[in-house]
A = this chain, B = another copy of it.
Amino acid sequence: MKRYEAYAAQIAEMIATGALKPGDRIPTVRDAGRQQGISPATVFRAYYLLESRGLIVARPRSGYYVSALPERVPPPVVSQPLQQSTAVEKADLIYEVLGAAKQPQIVPLGSAFPSVRLFPLDKLARSVSRGMRAFDPGRVVADLSPGNAELRRLIALRYRIDGLRVSADEIVVTDGAMEALNLCLLAVTKPGDAVILESPTFYGALQALERLHLRAIEIPTDPLSGIDLQALATVLRRQRPAACWLMPSFQNPLGSLMPESRKAELVQLLAEHEVPLIEDDVYGDLYYAAQRPRPAKAFDQQGLVLHCSSFSKSLAPGYRIGWVAPGRYVRQLQRLKLGTTLSAAMPSQVALADYLSGSGFDPHLRRLRERLAEQRDAMAAAVAEFFPKGTRATRPEGGYFMWLELPRNIDTLSLHRQALRKGISIAPGALFSARNDFAHCLRLNYGHPDDRRVNRALRTLGQLAAALQR
């Protein structure tokens, strides 16, 4: 057992025995380091591990606390998908469910988007005007693909601040991370290939596989710490997947966060089999702990990690600006972007370049993360209060999705239909698997301000679920 694991086990023991109670503050990094004679880095790793297990939570600028209600709503169990490649035919269901929830009056607990009120849209609008005034029209053609040079420089700068070396030349600006994912799949697969996914996985990935005639291999995934690396290793030995598409930080829909040591292991494992990793990191900036979790890309020695992200979840919904840092696949990605949609929209690119060149992004992100952490707590409390006994739920340390596992006999597609009639949307579990797993699970969005409307909706959902159980 490593040093940080030993210290983590010691704290876990204190929580299990009741020496530390829900809501108690645990020692600060400095105090713990002094008391135990270990480095702050070691304490941090221990606290990350505890956090990823749901035992403690970080509160920004305050410290770490024992998680509330660890018994009332335990985390969901690790998924057990059939680990064989599957043709994907989910588009009809996905479209039907998402389409039904589109009316503006609905309480959007099934939505993939956080509330637009969380974003500095006025400031961005001013950045659009300022950026357009300053823009040299002669650059329209020069900026086509891989994208506006200044924007790429500013994105590369943010990587550097996070400790990653990604040059502006490696970055291809895309129309959101969804396009980045699609182009990455086009770059590294051909029809009939199999792609490794988490279980459950984001339905957008399932749709992309279906569209490109790819097969899915779903791997057991821990709701707290992400994909099961042993199961992955077995699949890599026995099958020949063309690629692996994962969200190592704040996975959609679980909210799981792979600890950094497991990310490093993941990257090494895939490199041994020369399997490219398409890493979707759109929620990476929405961490509630003290530091941004490093992406798998940080551990990439071989250029096999295609790191995708966007500003849609963190800053500028609707601007459709994402990007990919595709490692050794950079030329393929530049080409694919040029050949499919040519370039991202120029007004959006110059607006974001203008905004990022100012100092507003980090203060905005801090406020956003605080709001999301508060909203998670509120939703966790409501779920504990309103949902049937036997419900399990994640308590993510970032992003804005919570994954619920209801008692087995509750069908969440029925719950979805009944909830819609009451003006509430949810994302039923069936959307998140190529087979028909997760029929008793659902994803809730807590990216909308916690208010009486949301609280009432959660109460209604809990009642509907209880009625379905009978």
Q: For residue A336, which residues in chain B have a CB less than 8 angstroms away from its CB? A: 211
B178 and A341 within 8 A (CB): yes
Q: A140-B116, A319-B347 are in contact. Are A341 and B128 (CB under 8 A)?
A: no
If A336-B211, A347-B128, A347-B351 touch, whether A176 touches B318 (CB-CB below 8 Å) is no
Residue A335 lies at the interface, judged by CB distance under 8 Å to chain B: yes
Taking a contact as CB atoms under 8 Å apart, the answer to whether B339 and A318 are in contact is no
Q: Which residues of B contact A213 (CB under 8 A)?
A: 190-191
Is A125 in contact with B133, judged by CB distance below 8 angstroms?
Answer: yes
Tally of contact residues, A, Cβ under 8 A? 56
Asked if residues A320 and B339 are in contact (CB atoms below 8 Å), the reply is no
If A186-B211, A211-B340, A319-B346 touch, does A116 touch B129 (CB 8 Å cutoff)? no
> A179 in the interface, Cβ–Cβ < 8 Å?
yes
Copy tally for this chain in the complex stands at 2
Contact indicator A345/B347 (Cβ below 8 Å)? yes
In the complex, A91 has a CB within 8 A of chain B: yes
> A41 near B: Cβ within 8 Å?
no
Interface of A is mostly: helix
- A193 CB to nearest B CB, Å: 11
Which of chain B's residues has its CB closest to A143's CB? B318
Q: Are B137 and A132 in contact (CB under 8 A)?
A: no
| Residue A165 at the chain B interface, CB threshold 8 Å | no
Give every chain B residue within 8 A of A179 (Cβ-Cβ). 340-341
Q: Which residue in chain B gives the minimum CB-CB distance to A203? A: B339
Structural contact, B102 and A142, CB atoms closer than 8 A: yes
Q: Give the docked Cα–Cα distance between A142 and B191 (Å).
A: 33
The chain B residue sitting closest to A178, CB to CB, is B342
**Restricting to A292-336, which residues have a CB under 8 Å from any CB of B?**
317-321, 335-336
Cβ contacts A154-191/B at 8 Å (1 or 0 each):
00000000000000000000011011001000100011
**Which residues from B are CB-within-8-Å of A121?**
137
Contact B344 A345 (CB under 8 A): yes
Q: Which residues of B contact A143 (CB under 8 A)?
A: 318
Q: B residues within 8 A CB of A135?
A: 125
Contact with B along A82-95 (1 / 0, CB 8 A): 00000000010001
Q: Does A208 contact B (CB under 8 A)?
A: yes
- CB of A326, distance to nearest CB on chain B (Å): 16
Chain B residues whose CB sits within 8 angstroms of the CB of A363 once the complex forms: none
Across-interface contacts of A140 in B (CB, < 8 A): 113, 116, 317-318
Q: How far is the CB of A95 from chain B (nearest CB, A)?
A: 5
What residue of chain B has the Cβ atom nearest to residue A103's Cβ?
A: B142
Supply 18 further A-B pairs (C-beta < 8 A) apart from A119-B137, A208-B340, A318-B345. Answer: A91-B335, A91-B339, A102-B142, A104-B142, A108-B141, A113-B140, A116-B138, A116-B140, A125-B133, A128-B128, A140-B317, A141-B317, A175-B345, A176-B342, A178-B340, A178-B342, A321-B345, A345-B345
Which residues of A pack against B, CB within 8 Å?
91, 95, 98, 102, 104, 108, 111, 113, 116-117, 119, 121, 125, 128-129, 132-133, 135, 137-138, 140-143, 175-176, 178-179, 182, 186, 190-191, 204, 207-208, 211, 213, 317-321, 335-336, 338-348, 351
Q: What are 10 A-B interface contacts by the 8 Å CB criterion?
A: A113-B140, A117-B137, A125-B132, A204-B339, A208-B340, A318-B343, A319-B345, A345-B345, A346-B348, A348-B348
